[in-house]
Amino acid sequence: MRDYRTAKKLPQTTERPRAQDRARNQAVAEWVSTCKGGRPTHGDFLLAEPISDAFNLGAVSLRLGGRRLLFDATNMKITNVPEANKCLVREYRPGWN
């Protein structure tokens, strides 16, 4: 764009990046820094498991009418509502196991 303006002798504009673009550029810079051995980002994979567990347990609770669930993360079992454990696993059709 700048070359076109120079060739046509048009005035140069000083466009400032929008906040959305600045945020995206910062996110990309953080990602590149992490890939090069920098500090982990907020979207670290180590956080993915507990966050996924929390969302899945919330869905199971809603399926059971909003009941409070006590989850034993070590054994991957719900301890206070035995029938809720059926919602944690899926029985696959033959040929898809």
Higher pLDDT: 96 or 63? It is: 63
Give the model confidence (pLDDT) of 1-60 as tens digits: 567 777 777 777 776 667 778 888 888 888 899 889 988 777 777 788 888 999 999 999
For residues 71 and 54, what is the distance between their CA atoms, to the nearest angstrom?
10
Per-residue pLDDT tens for 57-72? 999 999 999 999 999 9
**Half-sphere exposure for 45 (CA within 13 Å, toward CB):** 3
Residues near 11 by Cβ (< 8 Å), separated by ≥ 6? 5
Q: What is the pLDDT of residue 26?
A: 87
Give the number of other Cβ atoms within 10 Å of residue 84's Cβ. Answer: 20
Q: 80 versus 44: which is more confidently predicted?
A: 80
